[in-house]
Amino acid sequence: MDEAIAWGAFQIGCRTSKRLPLVDALIAAAAQARGARLVHRDGHLAAMPLELVEQIQPPDPVSG
């Protein structure tokens, strides 16, 4: 982590309507800085506006 990612995490947290835990904001900011996609099933990350970081939310696994 560096200052740019920390600042990005702050900005993402400010633009997310629901409370975003710090670790999730840092992960999102690191992905944003690298132009990466987030693949997750995390409700906190799902609350982020889609224009901030590209996201893929796979379906829940089928229990068998």
> Per-residue confidence at 60, pLDDT binned at 50, 70, 90?
confident
Spatial separation of the C-alpha atoms in residues 24 and 38, rounded to whole Å = 11
d(Cα 60, Cα 1) in Å, to the nearest integer?
A: 30
37 found inside a domain: yes
User: pTM here?
Assistant: 0.84
Q: 32 falls in which pLDDT band (50, 70, 90)?
A: very high
Report, as an integer, the average pLDDT of 39-57.
91
| In a domain? residue 28 | yes
Maximum C-alpha span of the chain? 45
Instruction: State the chain's mean pLDDT as an integer.
Output: 91
Whether residue 63 lies inside any domain: the answer is no
How much of the chain exceeds pLDDT 70, in percent?
A: 97
CA distances 32 to 4, 11, 14, 55, 64, Å, are: 11, 11, 15, 10, 36
**Residue 64 falls inside a structural domain:** no
Q: Is residue 36 part of a domain?
A: yes
Domain count along the chain: 1
Question: How many whole angstroms separate alpha carbon 59 and alpha carbon 13?
Answer: 25
Domain residues for the domain of 20 are 3-56
